[in-house]
């Protein structure tokens, strides 16, 4: 499966995503519908960040009668920080080339950050719909704006259609979002993934004041994403709302880079330079191998001989709440031939301390071993919904789908609780409901 993988360890913004997509082979000419619809120009260049050669993208806006085509609608909104870690201080041979033909003798241009009218969510949708975009790119761009609109409406407690964007409704943000959708369509990959995305740390200044990083809109967007956030590695804003929304719509979350036969690697640069961390977003394009995914884990074990059945019965749920990925309880024989149980817990490295503390508190054990296991091989898992017919009535049932890293499904398992509920209502045997749900999914996929 042709796969695009982002490395989220240095965060992401709209222009960094554009640059990374161009760096791994997307055609700059795919951006022409945006330049035709808005008074903007993509200027593509190159730079070096902490020794890493990277691509840059600046969105420039035409000046009219010596003034920027910017307008202030009087609204005060949440995205003044949209390019918070991009200060347009370049440290290499940037602005080396223009996209398309040379505009230098036709118009004067300036950086488009925040330029142009600040639009409502509905206005942004209209602009996208009026562009001459390929159907997949238009659908992606509209979905990204919807994620931004929903986050903004939750921040301000407004209705989605009435939500007014500030920076995210300006020309450069529209160019970032639609541009990313066009470049992804041009790359023609079957799957996009990202490792956990770093937010940075510290505080960010916005129109409503100073807020901790990640900012409110980013946290709401991440809530609906399949990838995870992590703080750091430096005290500045690394993940912008536009970057978060693009990745939330396009990318599946993975814990680490999947096995790939690599075709191309590229880096998209932000403008700011950090002393110890290259401010670049890495993108990798290649073919998935068709294997399972390596998942970093730790294994905790303890033996108990005085835990009651009630304690053991509730242990799975309590440890799962603390972060355990799997819990098994195995009968064993302990000293003086006393019957006991060995409890084994699979846990992510970051959750070891909390799960160990919960295990000790729940069982009263005096010691917990951490074994030498470092990883496991797991399937890519997703939950899908199927509609089944039982006794002439229609029911929705969830099924768990397991696939390899190339996307090939090798197992389908109906969710027992859903099937039990259908069986109770319809009078059909549970095993018949399970069989129907699983076969329905296989037939339709």
**In this structure, how many other beta carbons lie within 10 angstroms of the beta carbon of residue 328?**
12
Averaged pLDDT for residues 25-52 = 95
> How far from 404 is each of 166, 313, 346, 442, CA to CA, in Å?
42, 32, 21, 16
- 381 vs 205, more confident: 381
Averaged pLDDT for residues 79-85 = 42
pLDDT of residue 64: 53
Burial class of residue 63, CB neighbours in 10 A (0-12, 13-18, 19+): middle
Q: Are 51 and 183 in contact (CB under 8 A)?
A: no
Q: Give the pLDDT band (50/70/90) at residue 259.
A: confident
In the predicted structure, residue 350 carries a pLDDT above the cut 90: no
Question: Of the given ranges (67-81, 108-122, 353-367), which has the lowest mean pLDDT?
Answer: 67-81
Q: How far apart are CA 442 and CA 379, in angstroms?
A: 17
Q: Are 199 and 240 in contact (CB under 8 A)?
A: no
Mean pLDDT taken over the chain: 84
Q: Taking Cα atoms as reference points, which of 392, 389, 404 lies closest to residue 437? A: 389
pLDDT of residue 81: 42
The helix/strand/coil state of 409 is strand
In the predicted structure, residue 167 carries a pLDDT above the cut 60: no
Q: Are 374 and 297 in contact (CB under 8 A)?
A: yes
């Amino acid at each position: 499966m042709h796969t695009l993988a982002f490395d989220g360890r240095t965060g992401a913004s709209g222009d960094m995503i554009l640059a990374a997509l161009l760096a791994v082979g997307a055609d700059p000419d795919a951006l022409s519908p945006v330049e035709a619809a808005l008074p903007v120009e993509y200027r593509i260049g190159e730079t070096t960040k902490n020794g890493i050669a990277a691509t840059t993208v600046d969105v420039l806006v035409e000046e009219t009668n010596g003034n920027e085509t910017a307008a202030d609608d009087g609204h005060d909104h949440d995205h003044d920080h949209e390019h918070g870690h991009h200060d347009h201080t370049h440290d290499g041979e940037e602005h080396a080339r223009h996209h398309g033909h040379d505009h230098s003798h036709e118009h004067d241009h300036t950086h488009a950050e925040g330029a142009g009218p600040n639009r409502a969510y509905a206005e942004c949708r209209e602009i996208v719909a009026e562009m001459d975009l390929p159907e997949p790119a238009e659908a992606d761009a509209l979905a990204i704006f919807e994620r931004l609109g929903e986050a903004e409406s939750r921040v301000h407690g407004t209705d989605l259609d009435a939500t007014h964007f500030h920076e995210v409704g300006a020309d450069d943000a529209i160019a970032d979002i639609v541009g990313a959708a066009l470049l992804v369509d041009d790359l023609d990959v079957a799957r996009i993934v990202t490792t956990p995305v770093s937010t940075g740390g510290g505080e960010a200044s916005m129109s409503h004041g100073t807020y901790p990083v990640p900012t409110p809109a980013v946290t709401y967007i991440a809530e609906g994403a399949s990838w995870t956030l992590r703080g750091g590695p430096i005290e500045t804003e690394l993940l912008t709302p536009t970057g978060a929304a693009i990745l939330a719509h396009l990318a599946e979350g993975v814990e680490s880079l999947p096995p790939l036969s690599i075709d191309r690697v590229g880096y998209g640069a932000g403008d700011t330079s950090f002393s110890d961390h290259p401010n670049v977003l890495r993108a990798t394009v290649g073919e998935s191998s068709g294997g399972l995914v390596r998942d970093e884990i730790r294994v905790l074990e303890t033996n108990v001989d005085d835990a009651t059945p009630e304690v053991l019965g509730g242990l799975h749920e309590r440890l799962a709440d603390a972060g355990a990925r799997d819990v098994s309880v195995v009968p064993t024989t302990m000293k003086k031939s006393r019957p006991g149980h060995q409890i084994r817990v699979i846990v992510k490295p970051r959750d070891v301390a909390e799960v160990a503390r919960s295990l000790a508190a729940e069982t009263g054990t005096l010691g917990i071993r951490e074994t030498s296991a470092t990883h496991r091989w797991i399937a890519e898992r997703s939950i899908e919904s199927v509609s089944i017919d039982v006794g002439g009535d229609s029911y929705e049932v969830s099924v768990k789908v397991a696939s390899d890293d190339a996307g090939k499904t090798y197992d389908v398992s109906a969710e027992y609780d859903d099937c039990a509920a259908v069986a109770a209502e319809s009078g059909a045997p549970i095993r018949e409901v399970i069989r129907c749900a699983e076969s329905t999914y296989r037939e339709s996929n």
